[in-house]
Chains A and B, each alone.
Chain A
């Protein structure tokens, strides 16, 4: 059974940082693109970043470029998102998702990031 479990969210002040993690199991992690997708409270979905199987290709939505960094550790079946210089508009549930070259076929339960003073 495919499982994606996010962690690392929380309350952070504007300008602060967090490291989000996603533990993957139930599939061969190293053979899939992976992604982070976020959803602000009561709003729609936004694809934040994706990363190729070997980490050689990464893409970011413009609003997070230079502030967020996606990475993966295939030996540990883990996906990460380092989020820096956080703004109020980054407040959202962040989902880890399998896939990212086209669509996401499995999603985690999400981790909430709240940016507020």
Chain B
């Protein structure tokens, strides 16, 4: 199985800050990567697919980049509604696997 490693596991940031989350795959996955946002008690929400394709309705302050084994999710200017846990997911081969999550907390 492909292992997905996210860092950091948590980050404290203020409204307006730029936040960067990284995800590393244990083997090359081309651009078969998605990013999800999950708020407490809620289902995950797909933000980005194919490493950099923003889903409809997702604010443009979210962006994704990378290919191969190293990927990045960037929030350019953190908003109050962005405090949540973020997960990466590889879609190169089944079983699809997720990173351990990054919790974005209020500083």
**Using Cβ atoms and an 8 Å threshold, which residues of chain A touch B91?**
101-103
List 12 contacting pairs A-B, 8 Å CB cutoff, sorted by A. A44-B100, A45-B44, A45-B87, A45-B98, A95-B43, A103-B34, A103-B49, A104-B44, A105-B46, A106-B46, A107-B43, A108-B43
B49–A47 touching, CB < 8 Å: no
We find that the number of chain A residues with CB closer than 8 angstroms to chain B is 21
Tell me how far the C-beta of A66 lies from the nearest C-beta in chain B, rounded to whole angstroms: 15
- With the chains together, A94 CA to B96 CA distance in Å? 16
Given A102-B32, A102-B34, A103-B34, CB of A47 within 8 Å of CB of B98? yes
B95–A47 touching, CB < 8 Å: yes
Nearest chain A residue, comparing its CB with the CB of B98 = A45
- Tell me whether B52 is interfacial, beta carbon within 8 Å: no
- With the chains together, A37 CA to B89 CA distance in Å? 12
- Tell me whether A46 is interfacial, beta carbon within 8 Å: yes
For the A-B complex, the count of residue pairs with Cβ-Cβ distances under 8 Å equals 53
Tell me how far the C-beta of A37 lies from the nearest C-beta in chain B, rounded to whole angstroms: 8
Interface centre among A37, A60, A102, A106 (most CB of B within 10 A): A102
- With the chains together, A44 CA to B100 CA distance in Å? 6
Question: A58-117: which have CB < 8 Å to B?
Answer: 59-62, 95, 101-110
**Using Cβ atoms and an 8 Å threshold, which residues of chain A touch B87?**
44-45
Nearest chain B residue, comparing its CB with the CB of A64 = B95
Contact with A along B36-49 (1 / 0, CB 8 A): 10000011111001
Tell me how far the C-beta of B71 lies from the nearest C-beta in chain A, rounded to whole angstroms: 13
**Using Cβ atoms and an 8 Å threshold, which residues of chain A touch B101?**
44-45
